Amino acid sequence: MRLLSDAFRSLVRLLPRQSRRNLAALPIVGPLQRRFVSLMLDGSEFEYVVDSGPAKGVKFLIRMPEDKGIWTGGYEWHFAEVIAAEMRAHAGSVAYDVGGWHGFFAGVMAANGAKSVHVFEPLPKNQERIQHFISLNPKYQIELHRVAVGDFDREVELIVLSDSSMAKLAISSFQMDVTGNEMLNVPARSLDSLIASGAIPPPALIKLDIEGGGGSSSRRGRQVADRAQTSPFYGGSLRRVDASML
């Protein structure tokens, strides 16, 4: 079975990234493909160097099925292309990845010219993945900050949602009817205080993806971006955040 799954992974890599997405979108072929991938690879773990797209050349630890999108090239692909283009336009500068998950967007930023990438992630399981990701990519300057980002500096309660890669602040009004599987106490820091203390340099690009971080986090990120005279600040899935939207 191991030889068969290895052969299947090699076969998939022969397909161009766009062809992979096209196949997945076909009404009959897509579901069959996903079922086959699940049968062949769910539960497997392997290291993978991205062969095309915005994260080309970046190495990831793939655990199936949670990292399937990274492996197939379908994970947030349009958002990733926008972030990559903005990073290339500001090559040699600093970038922030707020809400780092497994380090994918940090990899996109690093591969497209970031001088350094600062990743902010409060969930221990994600922190472990990001730290391993950093060790797989020593040629990039990526630093993990094990904190939640808010407009304050204190310990906060974080609710881990049913998808263990996601969490929200306990005080947030985001999805109030959704209960979590676990409650964690984690340190929270504002970007302002981190910059003022010299812990991190000002950014040229901020990508923020916080479930239930609230408008305060978006406003704080926008203010940091404005003061640093940075390029765009992005929150969520491909949403360029302007002052008029906050």
Q: What structural domains does the chain harbor?
A: 2-72 (no CATH), 77-245 (3.40.50)
Look at residues 75, 225, 31 and name the one whose alpha carbon lies nearest to residue 165: 75
| pLDDT single digits (tens) 8-29 | 556 566 566 666 666 566 677 5
CB atoms within 10 A of CB 140: 18
Query: Strand 116-120 vs strand 142-145: parallel, antiparallel, or unpaired?
Result: parallel
User: What is the per-residue DSSP string for 197-214?
Assistant: TTSSPPPSEEEE--TT-H
CA dist., res. 246 & res. 237, Å (int): 16
Look at residues 90, 105, 121 and name the one whose alpha carbon lies nearest to residue 205: 90
The pLDDT confidence band at residue 60, using thresholds 50, 70 and 90, is very high
Q: What is the pLDDT of residue 72?
A: 82
Q: In whole angstroms, what separates CA 56 from the centre of its chain?
A: 15
What is the pLDDT of the chain when averaged over all its residues? Answer: 78
The pLDDT confidence band at residue 139, using thresholds 50, 70 and 90, is very high
Q: In whole angstroms, what separates CA 171 from the centre of its chain?
A: 23
CA dist., res. 236 & res. 69, Å (int): 17
CB 110 within 8 A of CB 137: yes
Q: What is the pLDDT of residue 238?
A: 45
Of the two residues 64 and 6, the one the predictor is more confident about is 64
CB atoms within 10 A of CB 16: 12
Q: Encoding tokens for residue 11?
A: 């076969």
Of the two residues 244 and 223, the one the predictor is more confident about is 223
For 141, the 3-state DSSP assignment is coil
Helices (H), 42-190: 68-72, 77-89, 104-111, 124-136
Give the C-alpha distances (Å, rounded to integers) separating 24 from 11, 18, 89. Answer: 15, 10, 31
Q: What is the pLDDT of residue 74?
A: 81
Of the two residues 97 and 177, the one the predictor is more confident about is 97
Q: What is the pLDDT of residue 183?
A: 86
Per-residue pLDDT, averaged over 158-171, amounts to 72
pTM for this entry:
0.79
CB atoms within 10 A of CB 157: 12
The pLDDT confidence band at residue 245, using thresholds 50, 70 and 90, is very low
Of the two residues 144 and 191, the one the predictor is more confident about is 144
Q: Encoding tokens for residue 76?
A: 């947030």
Q: In what order do the strands lie in the sheet with 94-98?
A: 142-145, 116-120, 94-98, 205-208, 233-235, 239-240
